[in-house]
Amino acid sequence: MVAMTADMLQRGAALNGDTHGLLRCFADKCDDPSRTLHVVALGTSISAGHGVKKSSRTFAASFAHRIRTVGRAVAVVEHNLGMPGHQPHAVEHCLSSHLPETPDMVLVEYAAMPDPVGFERVVRRLLGHPASPAVVIVNLPSFAQGPSPLPKQTAAEIFARNRTLHALAEFDAIAAHYGLPTSSLWPAVSSRVLQNDSQYQLQDLYLESMHPSEAGHDLVGQLLGELLRQARELGS
């Protein structure tokens, strides 16, 4: 796996002020040796780890591992609620039955489903949850509508013609509006991908046009780890 540079991590991990202080509160919990932390991945087949051979290789599992290495919490329990094919407007109605009773953090990944209105409703429901979990937005680009082979074009051509990729800005704007930390893969790696860097080839980062490979999941885990580092620094 490739370790991103500090400047790449800064471009892809936006704390957005952590307006609600939820991520800082979560960072404090990581240092409580009496705590068992519950981290939830809420999203699409990307969160579920479609195509990834081991569940321990998803971005949520990668992040849970990073929490264990930086904190003193007794345990980190990862709840993967990735639901293939489900739009956010459908998920918002079953949040109460799907979430654990006391989630500490919810990673929200829906950029592959271009439904910003439904996405915002899910965000608002999570912010009103009685447990006040830290809500972190995870944005991964997809390069076509639905899984299909990556186009046989240069990365620059794929980027220039891809509407789904550009739609990520709507999700970033919602996260910024609510002051929610965001992990966005494309801003972190775009310059390397477009420069045809041998370590950041789309064919290595993605299994096909929608689902990231284990390497892509690991990069997202690194960005989430960077958000946690920033929150701990902000709170110190």
Q: Alpha-carbon distance 162 to 63, whole Å? A: 29
Q: Of the candidates 114, 123, 134, which has an alpha carbon nearest to the alpha carbon of residue 30?
A: 134
Q: Alpha-carbon distance 108 to 138, whole Å? A: 6
CA dist 177 to 19, 25, 79, 180, Å?
A: 10, 20, 27, 8
pLDDT at 85: 72
Residue-wise pLDDT tens digits, 165-203: 666 888 989 999 999 999 999 999 989 988 889 999 988
pLDDT at 234: 83
pLDDT at 144: 65
Q: Of the candidates 46, 30, 4, 12, which has an alpha carbon nearest to the alpha carbon of residue 206?
A: 46
Look at strands 75-82 and 134-139 and give their pairing: unpaired
Decide which of 29 and 85 is more confident.
29
Minimum mean pLDDT range among 54-58, 86-90, 177-181: 86-90
pLDDT at 214: 95
Residue-wise pLDDT tens digits, 4-25: 999 999 999 999 989 889 999 9
Q: Alpha-carbon distance 22 to 1, whole Å? A: 30
Q: Alpha-carbon distance 121 to 93, whole Å? A: 10
pLDDT at 160: 63
Residue-wise pLDDT tens digits, 129-170: 999 999 999 998 877 666 677 767 677 777 666 656 666 888
pLDDT at 210 over 80: yes
pLDDT at 37 over 90: yes
pLDDT at 163: 58
pTM listed for this prediction: 0.92
**Which run of H or of E encompasses 14?**
strand 13-14
pLDDT at 164: 62
pLDDT at 69: 78
Q: Alpha-carbon distance 5 to 13, whole Å? A: 12
pLDDT at 68: 80
